[in-house]
Structure 1
Amino acid sequence: MTHDGGRIDRRAARVLLLDPDGRVLMLHGWDPARPSHTYWFTVGGGVEPGETLLDAAVRELFEETGLLFAAADLVGPVRSDTVSFPFDGSWFSQEQSFFVARAVSTAVDLSRLNEVEQGCIDEARWWSVDALSSSGERFYPPDLPSLLREVA
């Protein structure tokens, strides 16, 4: 992670975690600096020093869901892009890569969230492509339904 004039550059591994019915796990949260700005987002997070994208994806899956995957269980990256967004008073430029993982169970454990995440994540929910498309809720990435159809 590097800082550039108030902007934080970081790499992230994101995971499209699919259940046996093809639904994707989304976490619900908000920006601590703008608590009314709520949204749903995929599992994942920043790559730590010395980690590969795949290592980060496996670690984030465990921390954010309690589900343990081996690197060989993940497919991808199925997409890589760069996004910019504000979070907690800072502006981020995030180079992110998406992996696909398939869960055999829908039981999720949020108890391993870090301190920041505990303060701004309140729910995990499995979403079908159709439910996401028709929800009217804010979610990231905004083209998630089409990405899910591509990887289905």
Structure 2
Amino acid sequence: MTATRPAERAPVPRRTSRLLVLDHRNRLLLLCGRDPRAEGARWWFTVGGEVEAGEDFTAAALREMREETGLELGASRLGPPVWTRNALFSVDGVRFDQYEEYRPARVTSAEAARMRIDTREARYGHAWWSVDRLAGTGEAVRPKGMAGLLPAVYAGGPGGVVHLGDVDEDRTDG
């Protein structure tokens, strides 16, 4: 009997709540991670994570904010969902089929200064990104195309939830 390789197994379904953490200068906080099995495979991503049993997307967003940045925010500090996305990707030999919901969270300059980024989540760094930096980078940032989408978020939201598509992050061309 031969073992099934990870790519041949059914992807693990996952629901995530992601935050567009924006500072007083309209910069977006991104964390940097990498796949330990793929040489040089690193990418930037938003604060957030899996919706755990018994949580809704808002509760998960608040918990992830606390765990990843050290900040305690109330639900009233979160904006409504602005983007959704379905993403297939692999990390450490496991393939995921992930539904993502994105919502903005504004922080003051004092709150940004108090943040203590969890280095287990952002092993390879964290940074505040401007739209110009996002537009000009050659680095992998997820989701793609945020530079063109963020101005509507800064202006109060796109006027509804925008679905960013169904993507396979493991594909080199997409």
- Normalising by structure 2, we get a TM-score of 0.78
Secondary structure of the residue aligned to 2:41 is: strand
Partner deviation per Cα, 1:72-110 (whole Å, 9 max, x = no partner): 110121111211111110111101100100011322212
Name the count of aligned residue pairs. Answer: 144
Q: Matches of 1:65 and 1:52 in 2, distance apart?
A: 20
Query: Which residue does the alignment assign to 1:12?
Result: 16
Asked if 1:29 corresponds to 2:33, the answer is: yes
Of 92, 95, 109, the match for 2:116: 109
Asked if 1:50 corresponds to 2:57, the answer is: no
Moved over 3 A (4+): none
- Percent identity, aligned pairs only, is 40
- Name the larger-Rg structure: 2
Query: What do you get for the CA RMSD once the two structures are aligned?
Result: 1.6
Of 130, 133, 137, the match for 1:131: 133
Query: Which residue does the alignment assign to 1:87?
Result: 91
**Gaps spanning 5+ residues in structure 1: where?**
none
- Normalising by structure 1, we get a TM-score of 0.88
Partner deviation per Cα, 1:36-85 (whole Å, 9 max, x = no partner): 10111111110000000000011111111111111111012111121111
- 1:57/1:35 Cα in 2 relative to 1: closer, same or farther (>3 Å)? farther
- State whether residues 6 and 90 of structure 1, in contact with CA within 8 Å, keep that contact through their aligned partners in structure 2: no
Secondary structure of the residue aligned to 1:133 is: helix
